[in-house]
Structure formats: C-alpha cells, structure tokens
Structure 1
Amino acid sequence: MAKKITMIDIAREASVSQTTVSLVLNGSNTVQISDETRDKVLLVANELGYSKRTTTLKYDEPRKIALILDSVSDHDPFIDAINTIWDTGWENDYFISTFYSGNNPNLEKQIQAEINCNNSYVGIIYASSVTRKEIEVKIKADLPVVLLNCTSVDESLASIMPADLHGGYKAAEHLINQGYSKIAAILGETWMEATQQRLAGFNQALIDNQMIPKKEYQVEGDWSLKSAYQKTLQLLALPNRPDAIFCFSDYMAMGCYQAIKEQGFKVGQDIAVVGYDNAPLGLELEPKLSSVELPYSKMGEEAILRIDALIKQQPLLQRSINLPSELYARESTTAGCS
C-alpha cells in the first residue's frame, strides 16, 4: 500500500512549516503568505500526490475521541503523530478533543470525570511522547481504547509502537554497507525503551556483520545538543577514533556536527553521521543528515484506523503492532564513499 502523503511530508519537501502548509491547503486568508511560498506549497503537494478529503460530518452531534497526552517535550518529533491524529480524525468524521495530563494525578481525575459525564465520547487514544512498555492506564472509562507509543501492563489494550530495534539495525547496516568499520553511537538516556531498542538493533547489525560492539564507542547522552557535543569530543579523543557516529536523535546530531567541525574534520568525508527521527532540521544541516525516520505520522494514522474499527466493533487482526522505519541516506554518510 502506497504511503499516504501528509502535510508533514509537504512541509519537509517544501522547506516550510506545517502551519504554512495547513494555511495554504485550507485556503486560509487570515495570514498574508507570499505568492511564491503559496505556489511552492501547492506545487509540492501536487508533485507528491497529496489529496485532501473535503469532509462533511455525517452526524448532527460530533463523535468525540479523547486524545490524552501524558507529556510533550521540546524538539519532539512525536508532534507528527499528534498532527496526523487531528487530520485523520476529522477525515473520518471524528472530533478530536485533546487533553494534556502532564502525568498529574489531579488532572487525570478531572479528565476522567469529563469523559465519563459526557456521552458524546466514543473512544480514547492514550498517547505517550516517550516510548514505554507496560504503563498503567489511569483514565478509566467504558469505551474502546488505543494506546499510542506505549503498551498496557496486561497487554489487553490495542497498542501501536515504533519498531526501534529495526531502526537501530537499519542505521548500523547502512553505515556498514557504506564501508565504515569503526562505528560509534551516542545514545539517549539508557533507562528509556527507545534507547534500549535502538542500541539492541545497532549491536545486532554489527554482530551479524562480524563486527564486535566496542564499549568505548557507545556513550550515553541525554538527548540534548550539549551532551552530544561533549560526547562527540570524547569519541574524537580516542586513540583509534571512529569513522562513523550514529546519533540516537537528529537533535543530538546537531551537537555532533558542531564538535566534528570544531576539531577540523568534515562530516560525511572524514566522519559519517547518521541521525534518528528524519526531522526537518536534518535537511537544514550542511551536509544534509542521513536519518532513520520515526514512523510517528503513520502511527497517528493507524491510531485513528484502529479506534474506528473498535468503535464499529470490528475485529483487529493484531492487537499490538510495531511499525518499521525507513532510512533516508543523504550526504552525511555518502559524501566520503562515492
């Protein structure tokens, strides 16, 4: 099945914000957008094959789905999932009512009261911006529930997770195929499920290619630009410095770039860098960043399709799914191997 083109895809290709794309495609006149930008967005949308469904709700009263967010972080690609839920929900005749709990028990109780006393809600999507297994869903309601980026303790609830193990494998495999042999990694915080899965996949790819993972080549960051900068300097100071670095997020890759350039090396020629997220900022770097795409947009779309199926009492072939990632190769890993 062909990938559904979203506003996120158009924004990335046109090098504009998703807000700009939304304003142009929805014909809004509330903001003055230059004709050049408007034409560029429309051209890219046409080239990518984007089609927006004109929706007229079938119901007198809107059917509400409660989208409950436990947290949202700065520079978080999880916003792609949230945006897609809003767009796809509307296209499927649902009104998405979004709540932010902030992991606050008092707020969770108020959200639960709102959902339970309002009979227009037909389902709940509980979303975690941090990939987590076996969470306790504290919002109790007699409604269909889909978990996004997390799983329930007893695995009884439908859930959608990214295949981070697969993503880590793809990153290492790509570097190996490009001819790099001294491959390091700057991890996220090691208590996180995403870090553990990406690292497991990364190490497995090395082992499958008769390469031994080296402890000194795997350093823990904290997802920040500063930590990535410092950890890159640490790696470059090794007697046998790496010739490639896998950063566990695109944001950390920015700090990695900075350290490499300050030390007089060239990204993509002296040292390859691959990131994780395929965020738009990676296309702004010089050279452009190779990156594993987190399938958050697809996960958001899948959340709506699955909650819709549960609302209609249709069976799910798989209660829990892990969506795989794609790797986008660019100059940061290919410039030195031409």
Structure 2
Amino acid sequence: MTDVAKAAAVSQSTVSMVLNHVTSARLSAETRSRVLAAAQALNYQLPQAQQKAPAREAQPTTIGYLVDEISTSPHPVVSLDGARDAAWQHGYTVQLVVTRGKPEQEAAAIACLQAQPGLLGWIYSTVFTRQVQVPAALLELPTVLLNCQDPAQKLPSVLPAELAGGQAATEYLLSMGHRRIGFINGEAWMMAAQQRLSGYRRALAAAGISYDPALVKAGDWMSGTGFDGAMALLQSPQPPSAIFCANDLMALGALEAVKQLGLRVPEDISVMGYDDQEISRHTHPPLTTMELPNYDMGYAAVETLLEQAASKAPPRRRLIQTDCPLVQRHSVRTL
C-alpha cells in the first residue's frame, strides 16, 4: 500500500479509502482513478481479511405503507393502527408515506422505500373507497390494496362490507317497527354512498316495502346537508318515523334539525348514523350507528400480505370484505 501511495503521489490513508471503496470520502474522481491505476500497475490487492465481504441478502423486516391522505379523516389513522399491530405481532415494522394523491410524491416514496434493504411488500391505501391505478413498481413485491380496488382486479383487496352494512342498518330499523325510513346519503359518485344506498334498498325489498325516492335525500357527508335533508324529510306531508344517515356527521345535522323543529330523539323520530366516529358517543342521546371496521381492515391487509409473501405465488384477485357491526345506543326506539 505504501508503494501504491508513492506511485499515485497520495497518502497511504487515501489509498486505503479508495481500495476499500469508502464512498463518503471527499476524493476527486481523478484521485480515485490514479490510485486504482497505480494499484493495478503494481498488481496490488487488499489482503483477504480486508476485502469487502459480499453483502448478504437482507431479510425482510419492513412493510411499506402508502396512503393518499391521513390528516383529513380519522379512518385512515385507525387502519394504520391495525396494520402496525398486525405487523409487529409477526416481527415486522410499518413504514408510512403520505402521498396526498400526487404521482410525483408517490413515485419518490416508492423509490425511497425500494432502496432500503429488507422491504417485504406494500400496503396501498386510500382515504375514500375507490378504484385505483396501481403503480407498476409495486408489482415487483407482494402488494395488498386497502380500502381500494384495481380495475383489472389482479391484486388482493381489503374493503368494508358497505352494501351489507347499509342493509344491516335498515334491517335493524325495520326490526324496531319502522316502515317509513328516510335515508340521507353521501355524494353519489362515491363507492361508499352507492353501496350503502343499495343495502338500504335491498333491506326494504326483502321486507316487501316499496322504494320511495321521496324518502332519499342527497348529502355530501357533512353535517349541513344532514340538517337540510332531515328538515326536508320531517316537513314533508308524510314524514318518516326514522332517518338513516350514511355517516355520523350528517346524523349530527339531522339531530339538530329535529331539535329546531321542537321534536325529540328518539321519542318523536329515530335517527341512525354510520361510521361510529368518536362524536357519536357524545351526542344527546348517544347515536346508534354502524361501525366502519378500519382497525380490522388494516390488520387483515397485513395478514393477507404476509400470506402472499409466504406463498411466493403470483398475486391473485382476492376480495376480503370486513363486516360493519351494529353499535346500539339510544337514538332509535321501538314503535
């Protein structure tokens, strides 16, 4: 090494850094080239003990978790909790990146996580249930979709059983003696709104009750449209005895409408929500609702990913629908 240093006109430490491939050393390309040329001319090689050992293949330790948004709704945070707990129980950690739905951020996040050793696979999640175009780079490793589906339906997807949830909510109101049930829905283009309405209609049909469009009001998931929809329903010539709101925020608006009309819940009108957000426990009266199973969905997504990784088989379409349980409180009464 001393001879190489003299031939290259550098210090012995510089020779050591070049031959040991210390990339963090602040050496010019010309210096590195000169040292390598001198070593080659002198037929010098590092002693065997100093040669860099071949890197061993890293064992998977991490699950990449991509989500478009996490701060605008409580639901994706709870899904992440479920995924984190499932991963930890199996000896993995979850690394989260929020992409805000921007392709350039998504691509950068994927490249960053792919560069890390020990990446097992991907959870690809969305805040709203919808169809997605899955980035091709994800298909190199096991991938599970959470709260979304790919149009080609080639990947496993974990979704809430929204149609069954809408049906179960309506069946509960029917079991309490209600026959004229109003429904305030979310934005019609969203998958959750479409399926909850389908469940409502299916339950009515099974009970032999004709669907009445006058009992269905359009909303936008916010309390203001819940208020407006409930006002319209309650001031109609044939008001319903119960109002089923497609989420808890619209149910809050419905409760306020009932109060402003001088009516009482549940004595005069029953009100039911959907999602089981924290606020539903603290309304007056506490809100009967359907639980959106975010935690269970996140947990199931990781378990599905681990199964897929263990099988080493190509990905296949698998739809996992997680039940939405009924949460009975005090805003619905028996007629």
Same fold, judged at TM 0.5 (above): yes
Change (3 A) 1:313 1:128: same
Question: Deviation digits for residues 121-156 of structure 1, max 9, x if unmatched?
Answer: 1110001111113x2112613110000011112111
In the aligned structure 1, how far is the partner of 2:73 from the partner of 2:261? 26
In the aligned structure 1, how far is the partner of 2:267 from the partner of 2:73? 28
Aligned to 1:102: 100
User: What secondary structure sits across from 1:210 in the alignment?
Assistant: coil
Conserved 8 A contact 1:62-1:95: no
Aligned to 1:140: 137
What amino acid sits opposite 2:155 in the alignment? L
Residue 179 (structure 1) shift: 0.7
What amino acid sits opposite 2:221 in the alignment? W
Q: Where does the alignment leave 5 or more consecutive residues of structure 1 unmatched?
A: 1-59
User: What secondary structure sits across from 1:140 in the alignment?
Assistant: helix
Conserved 8 A contact 1:217-1:242: yes
Question: Deviation digits for residues 82-137 of structure 1, max 9, x if unmatched?
Answer: 1111222222211111011111011012012112322321110001111113x211
Aligned to 2:115: 117
What amino acid sits opposite 1:86 in the alignment? R
Identical amino acids, percent of aligned pairs: 31
- Scaled by the length of structure 2, what TM-score is found? 0.78
What amino acid sits opposite 2:253 in the alignment? G
Aligned to 2:223: 225
Conserved 8 A contact 1:109-1:139: no
Moved more, 213-222 or 110-119: 110-119
Conserved 8 A contact 1:111-1:139: no
What amino acid sits opposite 1:264 in the alignment? G
- Residues 1-338 of structure 1 aligned to structure 2 (within 5 Å): 63-72=61-70, 74-133=72-131, 135-138=132-135, 140-141=137-138, 142-313=140-311, 319-334=318-333, 336-337=334-335
Aligned to 1:40: none
Question: Deviation digits for residues 286-328 of structure 1, max 9, x if unmatched?
Answer: 1111111112111111011111112222679982211222112
User: What secondary structure sits across from 2:273 in the alignment?
Assistant: strand
In the aligned structure 2, how far is the partner of 1:86 from the partner of 1:139? 25
What amino acid sits opposite 2:243 in the alignment? I
Conserved 8 A contact 2:245-2:273: yes
User: What secondary structure sits across from 1:150 in the alignment?
Assistant: strand
Conserved 8 A contact 2:145-2:155: yes
Moved more, 113-122 or 229-238: 113-122
User: What secondary structure sits across from 1:276 in the alignment?
Assistant: coil
User: What secondary structure sits across from 2:227 in the alignment?
Assistant: helix
In the aligned structure 1, how far is the partner of 2:76 from the partner of 2:250? 16
Conserved 8 A contact 2:60-2:120: no
In the aligned structure 2, how far is the partner of 1:95 from the partner of 1:140? 21
Conserved 8 A contact 2:153-2:317: no
In the aligned structure 1, how far is the partner of 2:173 from the partner of 2:284? 19
In the aligned structure 2, how far is the partner of 1:183 from the partner of 1:73? 34
In the aligned structure 1, how far is the partner of 2:264 from the partner of 2:73? 25
Residue 279 (structure 1) shift: 2.1
In the aligned structure 2, how far is the partner of 1:166 from the partner of 1:96? 30
Conserved 8 A contact 1:132-1:193: yes
In the aligned structure 1, how far is the partner of 2:251 from the partner of 2:83? 28
In the aligned structure 2, how far is the partner of 1:170 from the partner of 1:83? 26
Aligned to 1:6: none
In the aligned structure 2, how far is the partner of 1:139 from the partner of 1:281? 40
User: What secondary structure sits across from 1:242 in the alignment?
Assistant: coil
In the aligned structure 1, how far is the partner of 2:137 from the partner of 2:109? 10
User: What secondary structure sits across from 2:311 in the alignment?
Assistant: coil
User: What secondary structure sits across from 2:164 in the alignment?
Assistant: helix
Asked which structure has the greater CA Rg, the reply is 2
Q: Where does the alignment leave 5 or more consecutive residues of structure 2 unmatched?
A: 1-57
Question: Deviation digits for residues 165-194 of structure 1, max 9, x if unmatched?
Answer: 000001111111101111011100000000
Conserved 8 A contact 2:157-2:317: no
RMSD: 1.9
User: What secondary structure sits across from 1:320 in the alignment?
Assistant: strand
**For this pair of structures, how many residues does the alignment match?**
276
User: What secondary structure sits across from 2:100 in the alignment?
Assistant: coil
What amino acid sits opposite 2:192 in the alignment? A
